[in-house]
Amino acid sequence: MIDQSTFLECRCGKCRLTVCDPLMRYRLECLCFDCRQRQLISASKHSDNRLPIDVANYNRGVDEYYFANGFLVEQSSREQLIFSKLRDDAFNTTAMSACCGTLMCGTHPVYEGASVFVNADSCHVGTSFVMPTQVILFGCDFPQDKYVEIKKRAQAPLSFSVYDELNSDPMIDFLKAVTEPLAKVYKHSGYVTFETLSEQAEIQIDNAYFDESRSGKD
């Protein structure tokens, strides 16, 4: 395996994905229901996966890193990957480690197959460079009082309703970053994409913790 400076590793260390392009593309904080739901599902798999206190208490959203969609993966790690969606019509597909329930990475059609997102509150990301948060998304899914608190102290732009703000400057910058194809120099021999890893796998539907992930909004 080629030695790279960036990798994604599950909490127990049995599953590891080496990222072909080591440079982080983007970082955001996500306040959406679905990110919270995925994290609750992960927490149910292992006691070490519980939500960070700040996330559980709605003091912040999920910390998400973005990398180019290209990996070097050994067979032992590949065998640990489980792929799922929250619902049949859900946009996101997520890779979770079977060994300990770590959220390894995921995709969304808007990335055009060029990037993956990583829940850095769940997955251990080994990297030499972490950029500041560039935007905070989906304020509409957060409790109103908590959203107001975040808005007061935020040092990054906030998006209340993402799909209504796709033409805003922060969203234009985000989409430009995550749709950039993997550079040829990083297309190492034997590299795979998220789609390569998932194409032979059954995509499970796991909608557990739907109500719990949305209860704070009530």
pLDDT in tens, 156-185: 999 999 999 999 999 999 999 999 999 999
83-134 residue pLDDT tens: 999 999 999 999 999 999 999 999 999 999 999 999 999 999 999 899 999 9
List residues bridging with 83 in a β-sheet. Answer: 95, 203
The CATH topology of domain 7-213 is glutathione-dependent formaldehyde- activating enzyme (gfa) (3.90.1590)
Location of structure tokens 């990475």: 105
Give the DSSP H or E segment for 48: none
Contact indicator for 170, 193 with CB cutoff of 8 Å: no
For the cut 90, the answer to whether the pLDDT of residue 144 exceeds it is yes
Cα gap 40→42, rounded to integer Å? 5
Q: Residue ranges per domain, the chain?
A: 7-213
Cα gap 188→194, rounded to integer Å? 15
Contact indicator for 7, 54 with CB cutoff of 8 Å: no
Q: Which residues touch 75 (CB under 8 Å, ≥6 apart)?
A: none
Give 118: exposed, middle or buried? Use CB within 10 Å, 0-12, 13-18, 19+.
Answer: buried
* pLDDT of amino acid 121: 98
What amino acid is encoded at 171 in this protein?
A: M
Total Cβ atoms within 10 A of residue 44: 14
* pLDDT of amino acid 3: 47
23-82 residue pLDDT tens: 999 999 999 999 999 999 999 999 899 999 999 999 999 999 999 999 999 999 999 999
Q: Residue 5: which pLDDT band, with cuts at 50, 70 and 90?
A: confident
> Is the whole-model pTM more than 0.85?
yes
The count of residues in the chain is 218
For the cut 90, the answer to whether the pLDDT of residue 142 exceeds it is yes
* pLDDT of amino acid 2: 43
Q: Residue 145: which pLDDT band, with cuts at 50, 70 and 90?
A: very high
Residue closest to 65 by CA, chosen among 104, 95, 34: 104
Cα gap 110→100, rounded to integer Å? 29
Q: For the chain, how far is it from start to end, CA to CA, in angstroms?
A: 49
